[in-house]
Amino acid sequence: MNIPSNPRDAELRRSLVETFNSAARPTRQPWRSASLIAALALASAATGALSATALAQSTPYDAEVATSLALSAARPNSVAIGEPFAVESVGTAIIELGEVPDAATGLAIRTQCMQPGTVNVTLDSTWISSFSCDGEGPGGGGGAVHPAPGPGSNTLSFVSVDETGFKAWIVWVKEPTMPQKSAQQVSELADGIVFRDEYLAAFNRFVGCMSAAGYFVAAIDPTALILNYSISEDAVRSGADELCYESQFMGVDAAWQTQNEDSSETTQMLRECLVRQGIEPAEPRVDIDSQLEAAGIDPEACLVYG
Partner 1 sequence: MEPFRAERTVHSVTVDSGDSKDWAPALTGNGEAFGRIFDRHVGQVRRHSRRLVSEPADAEDVVAITFMEAWRNRARVRVVNDSVLPWLLVTATNVAHNTNRSSRRYRSFLASLPVSEPAPDSFSEHGSAEATQALAQLSLAHRTVVVLCIVEGLSEREAAAVLAVPQGTVKSRLSRAKERLRGQLTEPNITGPFYKEAES
Exposed/middle/buried for residue 118 (C-beta within 10 Å: 0-12, 13-18, 19+) = middle
> Is 12 one of the binding residues for partner 1 (CB under 8 A)?
yes
Stretch that binds partner 1, among 82-90, 132-140, 220-228, 283-291 (CB under 8 A): 220-228
Up-side HSE of residue 241: CA atoms within 13 Å toward CB?
17
Stretch that binds partner 1, among 108-116, 166-174, 187-195, 217-225 (CB under 8 A): 217-225
Q: Which of 93, 218, 252, 288 binds partner 1 (CB under 8 A)?
A: 218
Determine which helix (DSSP H) or strand (DSSP E) holds 126, and give its type and residue range.
strand 126-133
How many Å apart are CA 264 and CA 243, to the nearest integer? 24
Residue-wise over 259-297: b if at least 16 C-beta within 10 A, else e? eebeebbbbeebbebbeeeebebeeebbebbbbbbeeeb
Q: Which of 135, 151, 183, 305 binds partner 1 (CB under 8 A)?
A: 305
Size of the site for partner 1 (CB under 8 A): 31
Q: Which of 213, 244, 218 is nearest to 229 (CA)?
A: 218
Q: Which of 39, 44, 68, 61 is nearest to 158 (CA)?
A: 44
- Of 1 and 49, the one with the shorter C-beta distance to partner 1 is 1
- Of 26 and 179, the one with the shorter C-beta distance to partner 1 is 26
> Dihedrals φ, ψ of 131, to 5°?
-145, 150
> Is 275 one of the binding residues for partner 1 (CB under 8 A)?
no
| Residue 163 Rama label (left phi>0; alpha psi -120 to 50; beta) | left
- Of 23 and 201, the one with the shorter C-beta distance to partner 1 is 23
> Is 220 one of the binding residues for partner 1 (CB under 8 A)?
yes
Closest approach of partner 1 to the CB of residue 131, in Å: 22
> Is 1 one of the binding residues for partner 1 (CB under 8 A)?
yes
Closest approach of partner 1 to the CB of residue 233, in Å: 8
Stretch that binds partner 1, among 86-94, 112-120, 130-138, 221-229 (CB under 8 A): 221-229
> Is 17 one of the binding residues for partner 1 (CB under 8 A)?
yes
Closest approach of partner 1 to the CB of residue 222, in Å: 6
Residues that bind partner 1 (CB under 8 A): 1-4, 6-9, 11-13, 15-25, 207, 218-223, 305-306
